[in-house]
Amino acid sequence: MYQYQLHQQISLLILEHKIDVAGKDNLFYSRFLANSSEIAELYFSLYGRHPKATEAFTALLQTITKAYAERCESLKLKDEEKEELGNWFLTNQLAGMSLYVDRFCGDLNTLSSKLDYFKKLGVNFLHLMPLFESPTGESDGGYAVSNFRKVDSRFGNLEDLQAVQQNMSNEGMYLMIDIVLNHTSFRHEWAEKAKQGDKKYQDYFYMFDDRGLPNWYEETMPEIFPEVAPGSFSYVPECNKWVMSVFHNYQWDLNYSNPDVFVMMLDTIFFYANLGVDVLRIDAPAFIWKKLGTSCQNLPEAHTLLRLIKQCVQVAAPGMALLGEAIVAPKEIMKYFGTDRFFAKECDFAYNATQMALQWDALATGDTRVMLAAQNEILQKPYGCSWITYTRCHDDIGLGYDDSMIAAAGFNAYEHRRFLKEYYSGALPNSPASGALFSVNPKTQDARISGSLASLCGLEKALRKNDLEAIETSIQKISMMQAQSFFIGGLPIIFYGDEMGYTNDYSYLKDPGKSYDNRWMHRPIIDWNREENIDHQETVESKVFHATKRMIEIRKSMMVFGDYKNLTWLTPYNIHVAGFIRSYDDQKVYCLFNYNNAASYITWYAFKNNGNKSNKLYDHWSGREYTIGSDHEYLILPPYSFCILEVID
């Protein structure tokens, strides 16, 4: 609905910021007007009853206008180029890596000198793990931010970050960083002021005089780190109050029911946007709204906040896509793409955490049926949005998919998860994996899994025993796991170190600021002396690196791997094999992954049903050509192998 007063308000701001509505800024003005009613509606649905609602809304409009006014011309040009491409991030031309700058190469300046390394691998998109100031030892890997605008001195400074962004942009690379929206460090200026008794800043957090309400909240709030940070509240001796701290006690939850908090954080979002960030990873969005008597996760208001952010970003920095890091139940993840009127209008990306975990499930059991049972849900992703696909990231692997998916495969959910935990933590005597349980909940026995891609695939144990056959098998597993995440659709992000087969790094145990958190075992410190092994064919580094590189090449060589269309899963003729068809225009590709420790047989009939009439297939991975045989003959897949079969006739 057209709102005259809103229009007037925007026009005044435009004048104030000397925006050229009739000329070069016309598109911005149109976007602002077009989105303003939606922005107002979303905002007032959350804050309408707050005494400061109107005042903070004016500040919000100011923030948007200022963000655009301060956005540099080259970024505005890039915005336009991206807009012309449509959903620029759906392309098969992107391949990503996520890394900790200090553990990868030391600091931001050195990172610029590593761009050739990424080029050699084919990576052109970087997720730089949190870079902003965070107290040593109480940092949660940078996810406890004490200053959202100051780069932590161990990485360099803001100018260094800008230089990296510029160098990357010159090389045609894309940048992703985090906004830690849900909480600040307890050393953030707002937290410090709150500790000193400043009421204004106490209202930025959830602070209580006694345990009354905290106890009530905790009745329904699941614990995130039950071992090291039980409960969801921490005592603050400086002001004799209790504060909500869902993650660690040093991470205080921001109170988004206060519109000032929202506006301040929106301003930070634009600060990052104007640094030239291409994708903003919104950390832990599932947690940003709290309500007594609920789990305080995935609440409808959290979605409203994200939609509001999306609308505002679209006005002032439309080239920046949003990734919602919601690692929650499959049904809940889907909602971060938006629902109903906001379908495909919330986050542009979400992590395909369900698929990731299910690949680990299939690798342990050799059975792909649970993976298949989840696909109905995953395939609901709207066109125009995309997945981040991955096998490992800096976090643990959660087994949070539905019990019903496990039951559909004929397993008992409790026993099945117990098996997976024992398999990956090494508790099972014959398991090749070396990982560990993370965040075991003593009350429920729930636990997640830590460990690097290579170690969980068996490389660590195989190397220790110098078992050449087991080394080869684990490399096969690494490649197959990566391949499925590269070809399934979405933007693949490799976790640094995995491209060279890094096994667990146990040095974290010597650092008291890290030893309590075993996720550090899969966050290695890179030893650049090992880089030269990449050029020696017989080494693990070389085998894994070149396999990864080839996967990226194959992905980039075929439009069919852009995320323009959902895929079709193959009728499962063999429970050990996951298979899907991707198509684009005339191109059609069958991707098959054998999770079996023995050869698997697939009837050629699998390539004939659903009206498919193909005769010849070319495997982009092995370089072999196949003629489709008769129904009683088989395509034979060696243990832990995969193939990317393009229909060529």
Residues in contact with 509: Cβ distance below 8 Å, sequence separation at least 6, in sequence order: 515
Residue type, 284: A
Q: Find tokens 């107290």 and name the residue.
A: 135
Rg of the chain taking only CA atoms, in angstroms? 25
> x/- binding map, residues 609-648, to ligand GLC, per CB under 6 A?
----------------------------------------
Which helix or strand (DSSP H or E) is residue 562 part of?
none
527 catalytic per annotation:
no
| Stretch 300-359 residues interacting with ligand GLC (CB under 6 A) | 325
Place of tokens 């508790």: 427
**Total residues interacting with ligand GLC, rule: CB under 6 A:** 10
325 vs 499 by CB, closer to ligand GLC: 325
Task: Please give the span between the terminal C-alpha atoms of the chain, in angstroms, as a whole number.
Answer: 54
588: which 2 tokens?
Answer: 């059609």
Burial degree of 569 (CB within 10 A; 0-12, 13-18, 19+):
middle
Instruction: Name residue, tokens 């894994």.
Output: 544
Assigned token pair, 226: 């039950």
Q: Is the CB of residue 329 less than 8 Å from the CB of residue 314? A: no
Pick 106 or 398: Cβ nearer ligand GLC: 398
Angle between helices 353-365 and 413-425 (to 10 degrees): 80
Min dist CB 248 to ligand GLC, Å, is 8
CB 540 within 8 A of CB 471: yes
Q: Could you give the CA distance from residue 533 to residue 320 in angstroms, rounded to a whole number?
A: 37
Active site residue 283: yes
Q: Which structure tokens are listed for 18?
A: 């000397």
Minimum Å gap between C-beta 607 and ligand GLC is 40
Closest by CA to 279, choosing from 266, 269, 287, 292, is 269
Among 105, 284, 406, 483, which residue sits at the site for ligand GLC (rule: CB under 6 A)?
284
Residues with Cβ within 8 Å of 447's Cβ and at least 6 positions away in sequence, in order, are 421, 437, 438, 439, 440, 441
Among 102, 160, 253, 283, binds ligand GLC (CB under 6 A): 283
As measured in angstroms, the least distance from the Cβ of 141 to ligand GLC is: 6
The nearest distance, CB 299 to ligand GLC, in angstroms, is 17
User: Quick one: which segment of 60-68, 136-144, 300-308, 626-634 binds ligand GLC (CB under 6 A)?
Assistant: 136-144
Which residue type sits at 35? N
Question: Of the listed 38, 253, 278, 283, which one is catalytic?
Answer: 283
Residue 479 neighbours by CB under 8 Å, 6+ apart: 544, 547, 548, 551, 642
Dist. CA 224–CA 248, nearest whole Å: 9
Write out the binding residues for ligand GLC, residues 570-599 only, by CB under 6 A: none
Compose the 4-43 pattern: x for residues touching ligand GLC by CB under 6 A, - for all others: ----------------------------------------
**One character per residue 380-399, x = contact with ligand GLC (rule: CB under 6 A):** --------------xx----
CB of 277 or CB of 316, closer to ligand GLC: 277
Phi-psi region of 236 (alpha: psi -120 to 50; beta: other; left: phi over 0): beta
**Binders in 137-166 for ligand GLC, by CB under 6 A:** 140-141, 143
Closest distance of CB 453 from ligand GLC, Å: 17
Give 388-437 as a 3 state SS string: EECCCCCCCECCCCCHHHHHHCCCCHHHHHHHHHHHHHCCCCCCCCCCEE
122 vs 141 by CB, closer to ligand GLC: 141
Q: 322 or 551: whose CB is closer to ligand GLC?
A: 322
Q: Which two tokens stand for residue 321?
A: 């896509």
Catalytic one of 325, 367, 395, 396: 325
| Residues in contact with ligand GLC, shown as a per-residue x/- string from 232 to 261 under the rule CB under 6 A | ---------------x--------------
CB of 393 to ligand GLC, least distance (A): 7
Beta carbon of residue 65, minimum distance to ligand GLC (angstroms, whole number): 31
Of 345, 307, 347, 303, nearest to 325 by C-alpha is 347
CB of 22 to ligand GLC, least distance (A): 45
Distance CA 76, CA 68 (A): 9
| CB closer to ligand GLC, 130 vs 458 | 130
- Identity of the amino acid at 487: F
Work out how close the CB of 117 gets to ligand GLC at its nearest, in angstroms, rounded to a whole number.
24
User: Torsion over CA of 62, 63, 65 and 69, rounded to 10 degrees?
Assistant: 130
CB closer to ligand GLC, 107 vs 140: 140
Cβ atoms of residues 501 and 543 within 8 Å: yes
CB-based contact 476:517 (threshold 8 Å): no
Question: How deeply is 499 buried, as exposed, middle or buried, from its count of CB atoms within 10 A (0-12, 13-18, 19+)?
Answer: buried
Based on CB atoms, which residue is closest to ligand GLC, 114 or 448? 448
Q: For residue 527, what is the enclosing H or E element?
A: none
Q: Which is nearer to ligand GLC, 100 or 593 (CB)?
A: 100
C-alpha neighbours within 13 Å on the C-beta side of residue 5: 4
Q: Is 186 helix (H, G, I), strand (E, B) or coil?
A: coil
In the bound state with ligand GLC, the residue whose beta carbon lies nearer, of 88 and 143, is 143
Query: Could you tell me the smallest distance in angstroms from the CB atom of residue 371 to ligand GLC?
Result: 23
**Is the Cβ of residue 135 or residue 141 nearer to ligand GLC in the bound state?**
141
Closest residue to ligand GLC, judged by C-beta, is 143
In whole angstroms, how close is the CB of 137 to ligand GLC at the nearest point? 15
**Shortest Cβ distance from residue 249 to ligand GLC (Å)?**
13
Chain positions 168 to 197 lying near ligand GLC, rule: CB under 6 A, are 180
DSSP 564: S
User: Is the Cβ of residue 252 or residue 270 nearer to ligand GLC in the bound state?
Assistant: 252
Q: Which positions lie near ligand GLC, rule CB under 6 A?
A: 140-141, 143, 180, 247, 283-284, 325, 394-395
Catalytic (active-site) positions: 283, 325
